[in-house]
């Protein structure tokens, strides 16, 4: 007499295949979300930098408010290298300027408007002409404060400065 049913082995193989597919989809989804967050952040920082430089070209000064001192010891060690081109990096304290978004003519940003707390703002280095997001953008396993080579590649900008 032939058995007309699902064997335990075939049921286990089917469940195993479904688990593998599900985990692959979840991992892919997490990577896609992380890349979208990184790309969004990179575009915003790049665009804001262009706005600040255009403003300086047209007006002879930067749209900045006040000078701030940033203590790099308050930033995780893995992310501190993003500030390595700044004067004062070796001492652990760098000088930046907060950006006057109104003066620059920027009316819409996803971050940097203090809506997310007191440390939610963009700052500009007049020494290196770099934009920094002081709160830091967490995406994947990293926190981004400025455009890194990885972020430049995501937005397909060829002229890494």
Give the model confidence (pLDDT) of 53-107 as tens digits.
999 999 999 999 999 999 999 888 889 999 999 999 999 999 999 999 999 988 8
Q: Which residue shows structure tokens 């003519």?
A: 105
- What integer pLDDT is reported at residue 5 of this predicted model? 67
Residue 107 domain flag? yes
- In tens, the pLDDT along 24-46 reads 888 777 778 888 888 999 999 99
Residue 159 domain flag? no
Residue 32 domain flag? yes
Neighbouring C-beta atoms of residue 7, cutoff 10 Å = 9
Number of domains in the chain: 1
Residue 47 domain flag? yes
Residue 1 domain flag? no
Contact indicator for 87, 94 with CB cutoff of 8 Å: yes
Start-to-end C-alpha separation, the chain? 76
Residue 40 domain flag? yes
Phi/psi at 155 (5° precision): -100, 5
Residue 160 domain flag? no
Residue 161 domain flag? no
Expressed as residue numbers, the domain containing 102 is: 8-154
């Amino acid at each position: 007499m032939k058995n007309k049913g699902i064997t335990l082995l075939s049921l286990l193989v089917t469940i195993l295949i479904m688990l593998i597919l599900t985990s692959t989809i979840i991992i892919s989804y997490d990577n896609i979300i992380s890349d979208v967050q990184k790309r969004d952040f990179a575009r915003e920082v790049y665009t804001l930098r262009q706005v600040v430089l255009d403003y300086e070209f047209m007006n002879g000064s930067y749209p900045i408010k006040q000078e701030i001192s940033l203590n790099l010891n308050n930033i995780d060690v893995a992310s501190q290298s993003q500030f390595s081109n700044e004067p004062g990096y070796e001492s652990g304290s760098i000088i930046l300027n907060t950006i006057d978004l109104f003066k620059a003519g920027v009316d819409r940003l996803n971050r940097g408007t203090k809506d997310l707390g007191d440390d939610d703002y963009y700052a500009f280095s007049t020494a290196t002409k770099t934009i920094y997001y002081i709160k830091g953008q967490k995406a994947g396993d990293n926190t981004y404060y400025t455009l890194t080579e990885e972020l430049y590649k995501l937005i397909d900008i060829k002229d890494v400065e």
